[in-house]
Amino acid sequence: MKKLVSLLLALSLLVVAAVAFAETAENAENQTGVYTVYNETGEKVTELFISDNVSGDKTENLAVDEENDGLAAGEIIVLEYSIPAGEDGSHRLTLSFKTEGGYEAAFQTLSIEEAPVTLLAADAMTGATPIAFAAAQQTGTYTVYNKTGEKVTELYIFLTGAEDKGENLAGEEGLAADASAELTKSIDKILDGSHALTLSFKTEGGYEAAFTTLSIEEAPITLLAADAMTGATPISFSKPE
């Protein structure tokens, strides 16, 4: 009897192992596209599908779930679609969508890749393509006033923690004392409010300062001299008098 139980247990373990191996092999044989979809149509997207041009398979409506009846304007969703490995570059997908107002569009040559996809409004299309392979952006606009008392030779706005500061916004000539400049900074919309910006600057005399919790907004910013600071903050969110 003990031998029979041991044999049955061994067979059961073999079955479990075989199923796990089959699932692993199946996953290994798939190639998967990952798409970060930005709804920039200006209205709710009520229908969103990915269909396989080769097999004819079509997903369920990806715009809805148990809690939402659509993808709101400005909302972002990450989608995945898998096909068997070994398919060549001619394998294409169709991404189609419909808005609450009845606007319908489709892009029929989507590849298996990892890419941002922005759904465009009809009046935002620059050609016949209703999507853009770029992340939607949110933009901050800042009027910067130099009240450090000397020329600002370096001025940057960048994601806090990033190693690359980007372009020197003071320009080759620098920002003269008492001068002002209109600056903009755009970041991917998928970045939420926890992704602060840093504004840093350096003057001709070597004074350096930074403000590390700048938001994407429209605001005046005054760069202060070290002896004009009333606290630890080297800038003021006000226009100088």
> Which letter does DSSP use for residue 25 in this model?
H
Residue 88 has pLDDT above 50, yes or no: yes
Q: What are the start-end ranges of the E strands in 70-149? A: 76-84, 93-99, 104-110, 114-120, 131-132, 137-147
What pLDDT shows up at residue 34? 96
pLDDT band at 130; cut points 50, 70, 90 = very high
pLDDT digits (tens, 9 = 90+) for 134-152: 999 999 999 999 999 999 9
- Residue 66: both structure tokens together: 């148990």
The SS3 of residue 4 is helix
| pLDDT: which is higher, 94 or 26 | 94
Task: Summarize the confidence of residues 220-224 as an average pLDDT.
Answer: 96
Tokens read off for 138:
């949110």
Q: Which of 2-6, 29-33, 149-153, 230-234 has the highest mean pLDDT?
A: 149-153
Query: Buried (b) or exposed (e) across 194-210, using 16+ Cβ within 10 A?
Result: eeebbbbbbbeeebebe
- Which residues lie below 8 Å from residue 206, measured CB to CB, with a gap of 6+? none
State the Cα–Cα distance between residues 196 and 48, nearest whole angstrom: 32
Q: What is the pLDDT of residue 6?
A: 41
Give the mean model confidence (pLDDT) for residues 188-199: 81
Top-confidence residue, 105 or 54: 105
> For the chain, what is the mean pLDDT?
86
| Domain range 30-132, CATH architecture | Sandwich (2.60)
Q: What does the pLDDT read at residue 202?
A: 97
Q: What is the pLDDT of residues 37-85, one digit of tens each?
A: 999 999 999 999 999 998 899 999 999 998 899 999 999 999 999 988 7
Judge whether residue 230 has pLDDT over 70: no
Stated pTM of the model = 0.73
Instruction: Give pLDDT, residue 11.
Output: 39
Q: Where in the chain is the domain with CATH 2.60.40?
A: 30-132, 137-236
- pLDDT > 50? residue 235: yes
What does the alpha-carbon distance between residue 159 and residue 196 come to, in Å, rounded to a whole number? 6
Query: Which has more confidence, 28 or 145?
Result: 145
| pLDDT of amino acid 146 | 97
pLDDT at 233 over 80: yes
The fold for domain 137-236 equals Immunoglobulin-like (2.60.40)
Q: Phi and psi at residue 18, in whole multiples of 5°?
A: -65, -40
Measured from the Cβ of residue 146, the count of other Cβ atoms closer than 10 Å reads 25
Cβ contacts of 173 within 8 Å, gap of 6 or more: none
Encoding tokens for residue 72? 């709101």
